[in-house]
């Protein structure tokens, strides 16, 4: 079932305004998103674009149908950081060649990434190309750029792109040449004709991953990878290109230059979307501040993936997002209430139109959640269920963490009630504090009022921890 009459609006970074999304071909809607460099676990900031563009992917499939949407997200699996981690392993005594250790690290990290992103409810893209699988296409593209006068070899194994050969360079980021020179992550290479020229190919030592090319054994520069993979999978022109706004310059700017110069008959990506960055407790995430953590860190702390996703969706993708422990706790409570209602629905109705319209308005996920709050208040279980499915917050089965555990806690209620009654007379509350602390440690929610004591098993309830009170 399709809903192609749905009007979707997105903020196009290219034009700096919100525009109605009109695909090149409604039967073949195409999106490319820059994926990770696979040298370590994905940190929380890495996960934000995954969730943002997963929601967009779901919305596009709702509007145009599964079979009419192609979503590609790459893995950069050739990079100096990957080489460095492999070198550390070799120096620590790991067996195998450096190239074998690079491959081993890559496989391990990709596996981690897919499992961690899956825990956040992200669907796997239709294509997950690895840069190392497209070296031949990159070499062909570089050769073409040289022939067309847009790139040049320096004679020392490097090939560089000539920025001045592309007059529109800088339009995406809106930067002047002076700004770009000051802010560029310029790779070291001899014989640059212009300070802004960037590397398309660079030499590789015998022990590191490398491929034979017309310019000698080497490996691609970072920027050419996405251009070659996007062209091979999606064509000279496709609909949407996404990523974090930290990639807008120079990575996306360079992608446009390479692609439009190599394939002037196309327009590369027609709509560009960039998500804002993430903070933790109001501060930039950094190891020096001690607030740097990976998605796996949070999952291992017992924070469910659905909760992480909910917190992400609570802020519009175009605004900076602040991760806080308070937001996570509130999200967990909210989701438990929603799941309790949603699981009573027998059929998957259509998602509530208010939720759909919110997402169609430049992925306004915060508004979509507000609409779902109203559905929950009205206890509209079918619409709630379908809307949660659309947002990727529900897969049809209430997760185990959200299922209220059952237990007979009456003897502990009596124990705490007696301790409290005694304390009221002696004014010594140490026994009350001891019992209450043990209950809380066991994941029991303690409610004390004039009416008496009520104990409820919480999300982390562990009955074995109550043995000490018996």
Handedness of CA 214, 219, 223, 224 (dihedral sign): positive
255 among annotated binding-site residues: yes
Q: Strand 69-73 relative to strand 29-33: parallel, antiparallel, unpaired?
A: parallel
287 among annotated binding-site residues: yes
H helices within 121-221, ranges in order? 135-147, 177-183
- Secondary structure element (H or E) that encloses residue 453, with its range: strand 452-457
**What residues have CB less than 8 Å from 272, skipping those under 6 apart?**
12, 13, 14, 172, 240, 241, 242, 248, 252
Cα 388 from Cα 366, distance rounded (Å)? 13
How many residues would you count in the chain? 470
Please check whether residue 367 is in contact with residue 315, taking contact to mean a CB–CB distance below 8 angstroms: no
Cα 282 from Cα 21, distance rounded (Å)? 33
> Alpha carbon 266 to chain centroid distance?
29
Please check whether residue 201 is in contact with residue 142, taking contact to mean a CB–CB distance below 8 angstroms: yes
**What residues have CB less than 8 Å from 293, skipping those under 6 apart?**
43, 44, 280, 285
Cα 167 from Cα 420, distance rounded (Å)? 79
CA torsion 454→460→463→466, rounded to 10°? -70
Handedness of CA 374, 376, 381, 386 (dihedral sign): positive
Cα 336 from Cα 346, distance rounded (Å)? 18
251 among annotated binding-site residues: yes
Handedness of CA 310, 311, 315, 317 (dihedral sign): negative
Retrieve residue 412's tokens: 């502990």
Find tokens 């002076």 and name the residue: 178
Retrieve residue 448's tokens: 């004390």
Cα 269 from Cα 24, distance rounded (Å)? 10
Cα 108 from Cα 111, distance rounded (Å)? 5
27 among annotated binding-site residues: no
329 among annotated binding-site residues: no
Binding-site sequence positions: 34, 226, 251, 255, 287
- Binding site members for Zn(2+): 34, 226, 251, 255
Which positions make up the binding site for ATP? 287
């Amino acid at each position: 079932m399709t809903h192609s009459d749905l009007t979707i609006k997105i903020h196009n970074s290219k034009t700096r305004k919100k525009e109605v999304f009109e695909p090149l071909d409604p039967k073949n809607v195409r999106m490319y998103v820059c994926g990770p460099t696979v040298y370590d676990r994905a940190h929380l900031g890495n996960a934000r674009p995954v969730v943002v563009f997963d929601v967009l992917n779901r919305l596009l499939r709702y509007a145009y149908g599964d079979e009419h949407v192609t979503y590609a997200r790459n893995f950069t699996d050739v990079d100096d950081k990957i080489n460095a981690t492999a070198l550390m392993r070799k120096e620590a005594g790991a067996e195998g060649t450096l190239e074998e250790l690079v491959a081993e690290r890559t496989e391990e990290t990709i596996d981690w990434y897919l499992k961690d992103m899956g825990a956040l409810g992200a669907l796997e893209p239709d294509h997950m190309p690895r840069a190392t699988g497209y070296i031949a296409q990159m070499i062909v593209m570089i050769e073409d750029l040289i022939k067309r006068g847009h790139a040049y070899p320096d004679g020392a194994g490097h090939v560089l792109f000539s920025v001045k050969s592309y007059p529109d360079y800088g339009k995406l980021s809106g930067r002047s040449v002076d700004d770009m020179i000051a802010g560029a992550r310029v790779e070291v290479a001899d014989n640059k004709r212009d300070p802004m020229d960037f590397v398309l190919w660079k030499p590789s030592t015998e022990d590191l991953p490398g491929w034979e090319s017309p310019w000698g054994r080497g490996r691609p520069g970072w920027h050419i990878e996405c251009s070659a993979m996007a062209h091979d999978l999606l064509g000279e022109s496709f609909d949407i290109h996404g990523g974090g706004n930290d990639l807008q310059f120079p990575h996306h700017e360079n992608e446009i230059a390479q692609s439009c110069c190599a394939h002037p008959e196309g327009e590369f990506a027609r709509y560009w979307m960039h998500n804002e960055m993430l903070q933790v407790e109001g501060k930039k995430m950094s190891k020096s501040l001690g607030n740097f953590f990976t998605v796996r860190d949070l999952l291992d702390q017992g924070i469910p993936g659905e909760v992480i996703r909910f917190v992400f969706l609570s802020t519009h993708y175009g605004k900076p997002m602040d991760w806080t422990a308070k937001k996570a706790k509130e999200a967990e409570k909210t989701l438990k209430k929603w799941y309790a209602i949603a699981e009573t629905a027998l059929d998957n109705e259509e998602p509530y139109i208010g939720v759909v319209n919110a997402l169609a308005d430049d992925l306004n996920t915060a508004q979509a959640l507000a609409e779902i709050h109203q559905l929950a208040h009205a206890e509209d279980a079918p619409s709630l269920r379908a809307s949660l499915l659309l947002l990727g917050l529900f897969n049809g089965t209430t997760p185990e963490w959200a299922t209220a555990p059952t237990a007979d806690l009456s003897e502990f209620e009596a124990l705490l009630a007696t301790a409290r009654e005694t304390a009221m007379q002696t004014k010594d509350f140490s026994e009350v504090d001891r019992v209450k602390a043990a209950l809380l440690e066991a994941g029991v929610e303690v409610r004390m009022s004039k009416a008496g004591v009520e104990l409820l098993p919480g999300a982390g309830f562990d009955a074995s921890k109550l043995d000490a009170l018996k």
